[in-house]
Amino acid sequence: MMTDTISDDGDDGMTRRTVLAAGAATAAGLATAKGVEAAPSGQKTPPPPMPVTLKVNGKDRSLSLDPRTTLLDALREHLHLTGTKKGCDHGQCGACTVIVDGRRINSCLTLAVMHDGDAVTTIEGLGTPDDLHPMQKAFVTHDGYQCGYCTPGQICSAVSVLREIEAGVPSHASADLMDIAFSDAEVRERMSGNICRCAAYPNIIAAIRDVAGKARA
């Protein structure tokens, strides 16, 4: 088998060092030719912080945030409201659901700076241990949770679901778009973005039905 070796002092006038240098120069030339430039020196510098004021659970909270901060991280890491949970961080589980200006959203999918001036309600703002929101009470009464990790998101979603139905907002399960009424099918469809790995679904539905005043005899 033939091997190509280049000595450090090749008698053809080419040393290992000159070969390596030539290779590096060629690679750099190709990269430039393809428009692949070295990263600009400032690229790794974080963007300057931006001021943002959120009305969280009724109180104005002013923050200075990296504009890439999600609303979820602003709540948990900067305001230490850890009731809102991070599950997937990709908009797939609903654990991070909060209510912004009356509508539920996945707080992991939105940037905090996009909500300057908005009213944000988290699970801490719905009720307190001494004064539970009716939905929180119903989840306790109906055992609507097991490990509880998904529960804050489930409750924020459930509160919004009842408001949506009351406001006549249709869902994929609505048979008549002009006549939106409470039903288990409506609730299941509307709560489908809130995943419960403990599978407490029947009890969650029972809790929501209870608060809606639709408890079955």
- Enumerate binding residues for ligand FES (CB under 6 A): 86-89, 91-96, 106, 108, 145-151, 196-198, 200
Contact 50, 64 (CB under 8 A): yes
CB nearer ligand FES, residue 142 or residue 174: 142
User: Could you tell me the sign of the dihedral formed by the alpha carbons of 199, 193, 143, 216, in that order?
Assistant: negative
CB nearer ligand FES, residue 180 or residue 196: 196
Contact 193, 157 (CB under 8 A): yes
CB nearer ligand FES, residue 174 or residue 194: 194
**If you ran DSSP here, which 8-state letter would residue 166 be given?**
H
The Cα-based distances of 206 to 106, 115, 185, 190, 216 in angstroms read 23, 33, 12, 15, 9
Rounded to a whole number of angstroms, the CA Rg of the chain reads: 28
* Partner residues linked to 121 by β-bridges: 99
| Residue whose structure tokens are 């039905």 | 209
CB nearer ligand FES, residue 86 or residue 104: 86
Compute the least distance from the CB of residue 71 to ligand FES, in Å.
10
CB nearer ligand FES, residue 52 or residue 96: 96
CB nearer ligand FES, residue 109 or residue 173: 109
Compute the least distance from the CB of residue 43 to ligand FES, in Å.
28
For 139, residues 6+ apart whose C-beta sits below 8 A from its C-beta are 145, 151, 154, 155, 203, 204, 207
For 117, residues 6+ apart whose C-beta sits below 8 A from its C-beta are 53, 54, 55
Compute the least distance from the CB of residue 143 to ligand FES, in Å.
10
